[in-house]
Amino acid sequence: MVVYKNFETIAIRTQEKRSENREHSVPLYLTSSYVFDDAEQARALFADEEDGNIYSRFTNPNTSEFASKMAQLEGTEDAFATATGMAAVFASIAPFLKSGDHILASRSVFGNTHKVITEVLPEWDITYTYVDIKKPETWEAAIQTNTKMIFVETPSNPALDLIDLEWLGKLSKKHGCLLNVDNCFATPFLQQPAKWGADLITHSATKYIDGQGRVMGGVVLGNKELIAKVRTFAKRTGPSLSPFNAWVLSKSLETLALRMERHCENALRLAEYLEQHDDVASVSYPFLSTYPNYELAKKQMKLGGGLVCFELKGGLESGRKFLNALEMISLTANLGDTRTIATHPASTTHSKLSEEERRQVSIGAGLVRVSLGLEHFDDIKNDIEQAIQKSIN
């Protein structure tokens, strides 16, 4: 296989070898198992003496192609593709921790990742400590002798806080912990955590990687040794990605760079628009010069990402009215779609948290999160403007 150097070319030209049909675009391999030439080949494949497909829970040409592209784009040796982002999160934690171990995690993680850390792992005597993404100076003291993993998301959901990956890479090495970064919000086009020392990288491919709101998927990335453990875990427990979804996701990667550039351009324009708006109390976007971690954003991200958060002056009631007044923008629980999406975390995804817990993860009562789609910017802005007007009256 030819190895390319540039992101766009890797994403487009990395593909499974053509069959005798000489197809230009890679076909869909819907097959559960693969035929052995003879008993000797079957033995050699099962003994890992020969590389090749055996059964689609282990490998499939479509899932292998998707994983191989992702590994090249993230700059890791290997990758394993999973059925969902949560399957990736779990498969990146479970094989590496055992009873008695401890995980240090940023409190600002995705809702179900939070549940895995606080409800699933403790059932197996794996303890955790949460640290505040805005207080990195407190993190080192929270590392224990049995801390085996540090888990973070940057930018965080939904408030878009950042943590310094270079600093974190050094901290985790110093204490012999695995650094696990959920890179879902940035995608490898904006940020490559492996470059800063992340050992494991996870993605929900459901978001920007599909980018069109169609299929679920995930991926875990790392060096050969770590991914071998993930692969064995997945072989035993079965969270593998379906060939159809892998085929869709591999096709989607071909346009990831182009889509991310436009998502980010629309997001920056919206952030700049809202920043000067009289009815908006605050705006958070990593590439706004007023963003508290602007220098860090510029250092570790290529562009600011496709999400913008803002707080309406009218608080909770305004947030609710704003969402009800939207005409084009969708109210749905996804992000990273061609369609612009708005959510109100205080009344939906984070409604079970107390006000104090919401404050810890920077979710104000009137906070609105917008996932910028690829519609014309004027249509996005006009819908937001008319909804803001209705929210204050």
Ligand X SMILES: *Cc1c(COP(=O)(O)O)cnc(C)c1O
Q: Return residues touching ligand X (CB under 6 A).
A: 84-86, 89, 110, 113, 153, 157, 182, 184, 204, 206-207, 216, 218
Nearer to ligand X, 203 or 388 (CB): 203
Least separation, in Å, of the C-beta of 109 and ligand X? 7
108 vs 147, which CB is nearer to ligand X?
108
178-182: strand order across its sheet: 78-82, 218-222, 200-204, 178-182, 147-153, 102-106, 127-131
Nearest distance from C-beta of residue 196 to ligand X, angstroms: 18
Q: For residues 83 and 45, what is the distance between their CA atoms, to the nearest angstrom?
A: 24
Instruction: Provide the minimum distance between the beta carbon of 62 and ligand X in the complex, in angstroms, as a whole number.
Output: 18
Question: Contact, 186 vs 155, CB < 8 A?
Answer: yes
Between 218 and 314, whose beta carbon lies closer to ligand X?
218
Give 183 or 318: the residue with its C-beta nearer to ligand X: 183
**Residue (106 or 157) nearer to ligand X, CB:** 157
**Residue number, 84 or 250, with CB nearest to ligand X:** 84
The answer to whether 336 and 214 have CB atoms below 8 angstroms apart is no
Considering beta carbons, is residue 204 or 391 the nearer one to ligand X? 204
Distance of closest approach, residue 6 Cβ to ligand X, in angstroms: 27
Report whether 256 contacts 11 (CB < 8 A). Answer: yes
**Closest to 344 (Cα-Cα) out of 391, 379, 386:** 391
Q: How many CB atoms lie within 10 A of CB 36?
A: 15
Report which residue type is found at 259.
Answer: R
> What does 46-84 look like in DSSP terms, one character per residue?
HTTSS----BTTT--HHHHHHHHHHHHHHT-SEEEEESS
Q: Which two tokens stand for residue 47?
A: 């003994």
Q: Note whether 212 and 256 are within 8 A (CB).
A: no
Task: Please report how close the Cβ of residue 174 comes to ligand X at its closest, in angstroms.
Answer: 26
Instruction: Provide CB contacts within 8 A for 384, sequence distance 6+.
Output: 270, 274, 326, 329, 370
| CB count in 10 Å sphere of residue 194 | 23
Q: Of 74, 138, 84, which Cα lies nearest the Cα of 106?
A: 138
Closest approach of ligand X to the CB of residue 314, in Å: 27
Nearer to ligand X, 45 or 79 (CB): 79
Tell me the closest approach of the beta carbon of residue 183 to ligand X, in angstroms: 9
CB 113, min distance to ligand X, A: 6
Find the residue with minimal CB distance to ligand X: 85
**Nearest-CA neighbor of 156 among 366, 386, 373, 362?**
362
